[in-house]
Amino acid sequence: MKYILVSGGVISGIGKGVIASSLGTLMKSCGLRVTSIKIDPYLNIDAGTFSPYEHGEVFVLDDGGEVDLDLGNYERFMDVTLHQDNNITTGKIYQHVIQKERRGDYLGKTVQVVPHVTNAIQEWVERVAKIPVDGDELEPEVCIVELGGTVGDIEGMPFVEAFRQFQFRVGRENFCSIHVSLIPQPKATGEQKTKPTQASIRELRGLGLQPDFIACRSLTPLSNEVQEKVSMFCHVPFNKVLCVHDCASVYHVPLLLANQDVITLLGEQLKLQYRLSHKSALNRWKELAYRFENATRSVQIALVGKYTKLEDSYISVMKALFHAGLACNCKVQITRIEADDLEVETQEKSPVTYHEAWQKLCKSNGVLVPGGFGSRGCEGKITAAKWARENNIPYLGVCLGLQMAVVEFGRNVLGWKNSHSQEFEEDMKKENPMIIEMPEHNTGQMGGTMRLGSRKTLFKTEESVMWHLYNKVEFVQERHRHRYEVNPQFVKDLETKGMKFVGHSEDGERMEIMELKGHPYFVGVQYHPEYLSRPMKPAAPYLGLILAATGKLSNFITNGCRMSPRNEHFDLEYSDTEEDLPELTSSPS
């Protein structure tokens, strides 16, 4: 097993995750089996109880793990299936060590950070690195480990120390350290400054880790002098000072690294045996980047949610929309709308906000209501669903978005004015609750108690748009994260009026996919298709939304859902050519 440790310096949030997953992509494109581990030095056991405001989206894995959103990056870039143990937190490590202490495993010894915690970290990494992630039984060969936070943080210290020891444990030829640092470019002089990077490397070396590569994040490409300066002051060869300047899209990053010969350099350092020429795989990334930046048509999608101020709160949803756009060769413009701005109360308190929100909604070609928790904004989501339903605007409701669409239908079509979800109206437990609690998933505890992870959804009928979009399969396997569900008691009433539940859980108890008859595209799913969306494999419900919003859906279905290369609008096929594609311009954004 070869380990690549990616650490960060100066500040966090400079794209360490994207660089680490791009390295994984490069290794994969050379035919190696690659896995990844993300370390988050906080005390939470997992990300399940995080507020999307503070930390961005909670990503859900097949095994039900609620993890840091960076694992989503790895899955999307490397097309792998990770497990909850691939996300290490300080909380998990301490819980493990304390449980061992209680069992008496340390035989009367004083339990300390060094060696007990640091050993636990090393054992965890070695164990998890071996778990297959490609859907087969084969052990990975390369493990990318991303250490969250920045070097020097108190929280990260036990991890840095663990990896200082780890390089000797696994042997220097099996371990490579890459430090991602920032080269600021203050506006006043426009000069690229290396001092913060020098300080950060000094700190890292002081802790016993000498970086093999330094990836410099900067606004514009590094000048030769700056690259030389970093090399000299940081004691790293010139060609191992990598330049990762701001690009027009993340799809450039693997290409940017490959252009700096990272594949050969890593191969030499870690004595890697590549099986494939990476050219054709990289050409596909080139094509993706090209499409992303050069699509001529665009489509406007309203994202009606609650955490619209922080972009990371809906990162998988946004990526899934972009992936669907890439498949249709069209640029998806996302308009984020705060759901409560659409509510009547806002009209009274702040008419300008209210009308602006409605204007944004009315201008959109499609509406997406994503998952969510808590009552704030739910009336706004219900209104958005009503508007889309009545005006034949394509609508996709994900999880809470499905539940709100059902409530809306109950209220306005079935005429049950008080209909709501039990999540929001305690007293509605008595009267027509369209959405009810799943009893086995309410244990009174918040952490890890939802219906989580991958479950089967069986199609009940072939008279369904989603069945076509999913390529006429018998069932689909998608990831869940919820406590409430559509009340089966009212399904008959809803179906009589045209709201069809075309996909059910395996036992038939849970309503998983909803479609409205006679509407161009009004779909709700109880699961989260965005977690399995990949740049080259868009999630079917999202693809449907974009196709419908661009007026191409019925044509697409009539054509047998084929993304034919001859039909530019449905061109999903990426070339496998070994030849060089023309260079991309990578303008800063």
- Residues within the interface to ligand GLN (CB under 6 A): 371-373, 399-400, 423, 481-484
Going from the C-alpha of 230 to that of each of 12, 38, 189, 235, 244, the distances in angstroms are 20, 27, 19, 8, 14
Half-sphere exposure at residue 185, Cβ-oriented, CA atoms within 13 angstroms: 14
Going from the C-alpha of 466 to that of each of 318, 370, 569, 570, the distances in angstroms are 20, 18, 19, 17
- Based on C-alpha coordinates, what's the Rg of the chain? 25
Least distance in angstroms from the C-beta of 311 to ligand GLN? 19
Q: Which is nearer to ligand GLN, 258 or 385 (CB)?
A: 385
Q: Which is nearer to ligand GLN, 285 or 484 (CB)?
A: 484
Q: Which is nearer to ligand GLN, 41 or 371 (CB)?
A: 371
Tokens of 242: 């990598």
Least distance in angstroms from the C-beta of 439 to ligand GLN? 13
Least distance in angstroms from the C-beta of 505 to ligand GLN? 14
Give me the residue whose beta carbon is nearest to ligand GLN: 371
Clarify whether 530 is annotated catalytic: yes
Clarify whether 399 is annotated catalytic: yes
Clarify whether 528 is annotated catalytic: yes
Q: Is the dihedral of CA 144, 148, 149, 153 positive or negative?
A: negative
Tokens of 106: 């340390």
Tokens of 575: 């070339």
Catalytic residue among 116, 252, 323, 528: 528
Cα separation of 475 and 473, whole Å?
Answer: 6
Catalytic residue among 116, 330, 399, 468: 399
Q: Which is nearer to ligand GLN, 442 or 471 (CB)?
A: 442
Question: 163-172: which pairs have CB atoms within 8 A and are 24 or more residues apart?
Answer: 163/5, 163/209, 164/207, 164/208, 164/209, 165/118, 165/122, 166/3, 166/122, 166/125, 167/209, 169/122, 170/1, 170/3, 170/126
CB atoms within 10 A of CB 15: 20
Q: Which is nearer to ligand GLN, 263 or 384 (CB)?
A: 384
Q: What angle do CA 44, 48, 49 make, to 5 degrees?
A: 70
Nearest Cα to Cα of residue 479 among 70, 71, 60: 60
Least distance in angstroms from the C-beta of 48 to ligand GLN? 11
Q: Which is nearer to ligand GLN, 213 or 395 (CB)?
A: 395
Least distance in angstroms from the C-beta of 80 to ligand GLN? 23
Cα separation of 290 and 515, whole Å?
Answer: 34
Q: Which is nearer to ligand GLN, 525 or 543 (CB)?
A: 525
CB atoms within 10 A of CB 584: 20
Least distance in angstroms from the C-beta of 316 to ligand GLN? 12
Nearest Cα to Cα of residue 18 among 182, 271, 249: 249
Least distance in angstroms from the C-beta of 540 to ligand GLN? 19
Q: Which is nearer to ligand GLN, 3 or 409 (CB)?
A: 409
Cα separation of 573 and 536, whole Å?
Answer: 9
Least distance in angstroms from the C-beta of 467 to ligand GLN? 23
Give Cβ neighbours of residue 368 (< 8 Å, ≥ 6 apart): 301, 302, 303, 304, 317, 321, 395, 396, 397, 398, 401, 545
Any idea which residue has 């590569």 for tokens?
213
Q: Could you give the residue numbers annotated as active site?
A: 399, 528, 530
